[in-house]
Chain A
């Protein structure tokens, strides 16, 4: 902002009588379109012209003899005399308050944005100052409009000059980078860039200014901004060169893409999860069809035998084959039921109910083992063993662990199953330990996967039982651990404390 064009007076010599000087000015004042004031070194207004009186809302001559502070905003009034005195000790021709926004105050108290030019006038012993005033209300209004517009933009904007010095920021930019308004003005643009990229940036800047054209910054590189507090965030930046008054500026529009990055990441994870599920489903379908087909094939074989046997009148053999087929059909039914359980495990009613663990264990054991083996299982609880859980899931877990312990008993040992309930740091733990055939170390990892069978047995397992246990433990937010040796297996299920507990 340069000084307004002022009415330049012929600087009078010190010997001219004061009143003469003033009279010379009076005529000029009357014809000047610029608002003018002549102020004496004691701060009193000697003369004002009509444009000035009009601007400030005073009658003709209404300001004569008043202190110039009457035209100033209240906030400036108290210290202005001091500035004024300072000026008169070394009067020069200059504009007032360089770089600051200046305001005048009208008679009605309205603030008027102005620019002020000062010209010293010496008349004999007295010093005066000729004050010319430029009303910049309209310009300010336009600036405000533009300011409001760029502040209202959704994107952060930062404009820098060709030396990389920030000349303009908008509200979103200050918010995005965490700076108070205007604090960035005059700062190098590198301040907004993480430390590790700062050194290179001026080089990029210079090469851009050799052929400036609107484009995205970074050429595909991941870009980061850094906030005032030092935190970084991913950004996307558009660059536009702006030429104004023969000067080249660069406008960057900056977008915080943290959320988009997160969404991308989420999408990528979901995709991975989907293809994993898809693969699992393929495996599942394949294994299921195979697993269900195998007993069917056997049943088919046995039925053909029975037919042959009946034809040759061998009814004893036929009966054996049929009994065998029927047993396999039963096993097949169980297997299908298990598969359905696994599928259904995703859709259980998840409402929690109080459950007495000992009661559940006893009921299950009664179903699994014949009455004469009842003593093989012992139950001990270190805690109040009523838990709040999804009954169906908990039952499935205990049922499979207990029936495995029973099924894979060691031929040479009298079966012992020890079940122990405990509570630790609020978590509920149930441990099922047996003295059965155990599970080889190499299989510990696989044993919870679907269709993994590890034991030789007259009644081959489905490879689904422990997978079902794992799935239900997972659904209850718990964990399951296995330790096993030739002396038996021990499964420990830990369930988190539920809200009801």
Chain B
């Protein structure tokens, strides 16, 4: 079953890299590129569009989320997601969020992993070992 992956990153090169790694490793062909935090929040609020973008694929959806982005950064997005989760009634889809960042700062890592829907913290660039980890999360997400 194809699981859609959303890559949220303002740097086109990094979106390209993520997309290619995910494809080449045979993890997912369905990669949706989102170039900013605010656009991502807009997207998940618009279920109609999200389903369309996912090409009719069912949830769960995996999100690779950058931290350092203009205006609405990765942490702002996590806050936005938390708010949506806690409001409950319109739970968007079952997201599995993985931080995908060049920041190796332990503080950033700790802050991100405090959110229950953040399952991992991956430091750029993607390497085969990290792709393995992503695959594990996929498996878990598929079961869930």
Interface residues of A (CB under 8 A from B): 286, 290-291, 293-294, 296-298, 300-302, 304-305, 308, 324, 328, 440, 443, 452-456, 458, 460-461, 463
Contact = CB atoms under 8 A, between A and B. Distances in A.
A182 B36 CA distance: 80
Contacts of A452: 70
Contact of B13 (A286, A302, A453): A302
21 contacts: A290-B103, A293-B104, A294-B11, A297-B123, A298-B13, A300-B125, A301-B13, A301-B21, A301-B124, A301-B126, A304-B127, A324-B13, A324-B16, A328-B13, A440-B71, A453-B71, A456-B10, A456-B35, A456-B36, A456-B70, A461-B70
B125 A304 contact: yes
B70 A454 contact: yes
A293 B105 contact: no
What 5 A-B pairs have minimum CB-CB distances, sorted nearest first? Answer: A301-B125, A453-B70, A297-B124, A294-B102, A301-B17
B105 A298 contact: no
A291 B104 CA distance: 12
Given A290-B103, A298-B13, A308-B24, 18 more contacts: A293-B102, A294-B14, A297-B102, A298-B11, A298-B17, A298-B102, A300-B125, A301-B13, A301-B17, A301-B125, A301-B126, A304-B127, A453-B69, A453-B71, A454-B70, A455-B70, A456-B70, A460-B11
A339 B24 CA distance: 36
B20 interface: yes
Interface of B: 10-14, 16-17, 20-21, 24, 35-36, 68-71, 102-105, 123-127
A290 B68 contact: yes
B40 to A, nearest CB: 12
Contacts of A328: 13
B102 A290 contact: yes
Output the residue of A290, A297, A461 with the most chain B CB within 10 A: A297
Given A302-B13, A455-B70, A294 B20 contact: no
Given A302-B17, A305-B20, A454 B71 contact: yes
A305 B17 contact: yes
Contact of A298 (B69, B71, B104, B125): B125
Contact of B124 (A294, A440, A443, A463): A294
Contact of B125 (A297, A443, A458): A297
Given A297-B102, A302-B17, A443-B71, A460 B126 contact: no
Contacts of B21: 301
B124 to A, nearest CB: 4
Nearest to B105: A286
Nearest to A453: B70
A458 B127 CA distance: 24
Contacts of B127: 304
Nearest to B128: A304
Nearest to A296: B102
B68 A294 contact: yes
Contacts of B68: 290-291, 294
Contacts of B17: 298, 301-302, 305
B130 to A, nearest CB: 11
A290 B124 contact: no
Nearest to A301: B125
Given A293-B102, A294-B102, A453-B70, A460 B10 contact: yes
A454 B14 CA distance: 19
A220 B124 CA distance: 58
A374 B130 CA distance: 48
Contacts of B126: 301
Contacts of B123: 297
A300 B105 CA distance: 19
Nearest to B123: A297
A458 to B, nearest CB: 6
Contacts of B70: 452-456, 460-461, 463
A453 B68 CA distance: 9
Contacts of A443: 71
A461 B69 CA distance: 10
A298 B124 contact: yes
A298 B20 CA distance: 13
Nearest to B21: A301
Nearest to A300: B125
A331 to B, nearest CB: 10
Nearest to B20: A305
